Structure 1
């Protein structure tokens, strides 16, 4: 009897965590979501954070009523890139997927789909950052091993593209170009492998933008949408 009860409780908890509402229109516009992120980053840079939604009331509200984040952000796991902190946001505000090199493989893309399709976030940001160790490893041909190898393989096309576009670049200049290219590469990988995400974009329910965080200044530079987004999302591409 105890076993049956435990199974019922487990199923109930899982269902409550994944209460899907596919097709729902976002509660906030992409413009408004981006405005909140940009304003929060400005406060962070100026050391004038407001620390919104960090109190007991917010914790209780999200625990009982569920989450309704206004943005999804795919970022690097680097400890110098604390997403909620650098955007001055609190509990339940941002759905964050963090992985070394901000790559978009199966697990990351699945998490993105849950956020944009079922939680209905109106904006997806792929956030790269300066001095990224994962990109540096690929640029310098470091000896990757173990489960780090697949991450390097995901970053490699960006490094190749950066070298092709900047044939004379070396050192830090090449690294910076590769980091930017890696943001675009992650977005391309999402477009290529996630019809759900593409469908949200085509229906006007989702905007996808690239961004770059400077770990020294704290500033987020907004890169806009992928320069080839229209072609990547064309019917011929899928």
Structure 2
């Protein structure tokens, strides 16, 4: 009860949209705290369902959107981002795609929210029992354009297997889910000069996390363990270790060519 009352007080007196429509006083650290508190409420069945009323709709319609966080998540129907973090209208900029992959469309969307909307936090959110990651891990036959998504996850599966050679099949899936989160972060940091600039300027924090579809709890992974190295690389160039891992997947050149 004490935690719930504290959350109520925080929401009544905490950061909100100011008169000019900006999200006043929300730092990357405070944004993470808001998401952590919201997920705690959700996973303990104490949701406040904030910012869901007519007043909030009118406010955001008049003043525009100024989300305090962006979340790149999977499209899985068991991972409704705003509900998982107990947030409301205008709070989170959600980017959802199967397997929470980070391709050119996702990169452009992220650049829009961090540069033009000024979101101070980006969370790359994977989840347990992810169908796309499972398909890439166990080699499920897929057809149509779904294959393009699975192929984009394959490098993460390879990284997971290199780190855990003793695991195979479904036993490797949890490790692949985490590796896929980091792979998406790597794609962002190596291919978006805008995101890199925002991070280096202290205006943006990028963290990984994994949502448990059974418990409802989010496991926070923090920043990429090689973020500093990634930021120093020329745009579009991954760390040497990652390039080496990826190169092992390519077919060796045929003699005589």
**What interval of TM-score do these two structures reach, taking the shorter chain for normalisation?**
0.7 to 0.9
Whether the aligned pair in 1 keeps the contact of 2:71 and 2:93 (CA below 8 Å) is yes
Q: 1:185 aligns with which of 183, 186, 189?
A: 183
Give the corresponding residue for 2:212: 214
After TM superposition, the structure 1 = structure 2 runs for residues 9-158 of structure 1, keeping only pairs within 5 Å, are: 27-158=25-156
The C-alpha deviation readout for 1:173-194, integer Å capped at 9, x for no partner, is: 3000000000000000111221
Q: 1:136 to 1:48 in 2, by over 3 A?
A: same
Whether the aligned pair in 1 keeps the contact of 2:191 and 2:235 (CA below 8 Å) is no
Q: 1:190 to 1:236 in 2, by over 3 A?
A: closer
> TM-score, normalised on structure 2?
0.81
In the aligned structure 2, how far is the partner of 1:66 from the partner of 1:133? 35
Q: Could you say which structure has the greater relative contact order, defined with CA pairs below 8 angstroms and 6 or more residues apart?
A: 1
Whether the aligned pair in 2 keeps the contact of 1:129 and 1:215 (CA below 8 Å) is yes
Q: What SS does structure 1 have at the residue aligned with 2:125? A: strand
Measured after TM superposition, the shift of residue 170 of structure 1 is: 2.4
The C-alpha deviation readout for 1:87-114, integer Å capped at 9, x for no partner, is: 0000000000000000000111111001
Whether the aligned pair in 2 keeps the contact of 1:25 and 1:205 (CA below 8 Å) is no
The C-alpha deviation readout for 1:94-139, integer Å capped at 9, x for no partner, is: 0000000000001111110010111000010000000000000001
Runs ≥4 in structure 1, deviation > 2 angstroms? Answer: 24-27, 170-173, 235-238
Give the corresponding residue for 1:204: 202
Number of residue pairs matched by the alignment = 215
In the aligned structure 2, how far is the partner of 1:62 from the partner of 1:164? 47
Measured after TM superposition, the shift of residue 30 of structure 1 is: 0.5
The C-alpha deviation readout for 1:57-114, integer Å capped at 9, x for no partner, is: 0001101110110000000000000000010000000000000000000111111001
Give the corresponding residue for 2:225: 227
In the aligned structure 2, how far is the partner of 1:85 from the partner of 1:70? 15
Whether the aligned pair in 1 keeps the contact of 2:134 and 2:170 (CA below 8 Å) is no
